[in-house]
Structure 1
Amino acid sequence: MFDHNFIEKKEREVKLAGKKYDDFKEFLLCLHPAVQKEISRSNVLSLALIAEEYQVAIFITRCKNVMWDWLRMSVKGTNSEYTTANDLRKYAANCLLILHKALECRYAEITDEAISSVCKFGYGVFSGRLRLNMNLSVRLMGLSRTARTCYITAADEDVEKSECYDLFEDLPEDIKYKLLTERLILCESNNMIGVN
């Protein structure tokens, strides 16, 4: 921008239309040699698009790596015997947030991995219907059975709209179709997370 024949080269002030102050400040803190703030889960979703726009190759690589690791940890986190329905919704929401950002940045490999991760979560996770059966979970205390055996589907009047549901609804139609198709394949092989 400043080395080539752009308008900004001659201006004393560079206008950053469409940028959020906090996001761009975070970008500069990561970029500045004296600070070099780490790219992490807390800032990757705000930095990825800026890194793409300004073609900062090392940031793009770091953002992809953080997103990739975050996806893997979100799916891995579902394997704990103490995973609750809220935990499952949080993990699914993380995967959906990453999917949205990967689509926006056109990260094909991250998009494919996010789709594979998201489709592993059952419908109850997205719809808000998945609940922990407190009566059954109390009886299972001290036994070696996992908490996942305690999940039930909530009645219509008990359903609260989930962040996952909104994130899913905001996806492009072709991605929703791909997710649902892959989810059906997983469901047939009984490899879903959060299916009672």
Structure 2
Amino acid sequence: MATDELQEENKFPEDPGVTDIAFVVEGKRVHTIKAILACASPVFKSMFNLDFKEKYASEIDLPGKKHDAFVKFLKCIIPIDYLELDGNTIGEILPLAKEYRVNAIIKECEAWLLKEIERREFVKNMEISREGKSEFLLRCYYYSCEYNLTKLHDRTFKKLFKFQFNSYKDSEFYALLSDKNKIELLEKRVSNLDDTISRKRDTSHLMYS
């Protein structure tokens, strides 16, 4: 696409004297500020300060990136507009936060997910089905494994193995889990079932002894 055919991103427009770099994502220019990005991300810092070709570029093409996701990611760094987090938005920005090593965004996403798990625990069962609860926990478990979110991993792992396997086996997030994480989850569920059976046997023995 020729440069003069590119569209301007209205949330991150060019502001002469302020913006000094434009990213081209899916045919749209996204204008922003090198210094702020460099403070937030060691990847951007290296890109703009070391002898890479991007150091002297006024535009940087980002092939393979999604425009909407990249804009949301930038809003987390430069709050030019309010960004309301939800499960889908977090799924869009976490890969970018990991790629550009913006740990503050990763931690913010983890904190939101932990609060959402807590909130859902107080929602009436008629509002969120058991299958819906396991789906969200599995999404969180996948994020915790993929992005090394230890607090989220501990919280979701303790809750998720109590659900029946059939409630999440067809989930897209279960399919995305590594074999190691699937085994971890299933082994814990088997162990939990063994403990339950043992307790029932012990109870029955006491009742009839």
TM-score (norm 2): 0.60
Matched residue, 2:173 = 167
Counterpart residue identity of residue 89, structure 1: E
* Amino acid of the structure 1 residue aligned with 2:126: Y
Q: Which runs of 5+ in 1 are unaligned?
A: 128-161, 191-196
Alignment partner, residue 9 of structure 1: 55
- Unpaired runs of 5+ residues, structure 2, are 1-43, 197-209
May I ask how many residue pairs the two structures share in their alignment?
Answer: 150
* Alpha-carbon separation, structure 2, partners of 1:44 and 1:88: 22
Separation in 2, partners of 1:124, 1:83: 20
Q: Is the 8 A contact 1:49 1:104 kept in 2?
A: no
User: Are the equivalent residues in 1 in contact too, given 2:54–2:60 (CA < 8 A)?
Assistant: yes
Q: Report the aligned-residue RMSD.
A: 2.6
Between the aligned residues of both structures, percent identity stands at 21
Task: State yes or no: 1:80 paired with 2:108.
Answer: no
Q: Is the 8 A contact 1:30 1:38 kept in 2?
A: no
State how 1:1-196 maps to structure 2 within 5 Å: 1=44, 3-5=48-50, 6-74=52-120, 76=121, 80-82=124-126, 87-126=129-168, 162=170, 164=171, 166-190=172-196
Higher relative contact order (CA 8 A, sep 6+): 1
* Displacement of 1:173: 1.5
Which deviations, in whole Å up to 9, do the C-alpha atoms of 1:106-155 show, x marking residues without a partner? Answer: 3233233332232121134235xxxxxxxxxxxxxxxxxxxxxxxxxxxx
What is the SS of the residue equivalent to 1:14? strand
Alpha-carbon distance in 1 for matches of 2:105, 2:113: 12
Kindly state the Cα deviation for residue 52 of structure 1 after the two structures are TM-superposed. 2.3
Q: Which has the higher strand share?
A: 2
Runs of 4+ residues over 4 Å off in structure 1 = none
SS at structure 1 position matched to 2:87: coil
**TM-score normalised by the chain length of structure 1:** 0.63
| Greater C-alpha radius of gyration | 2
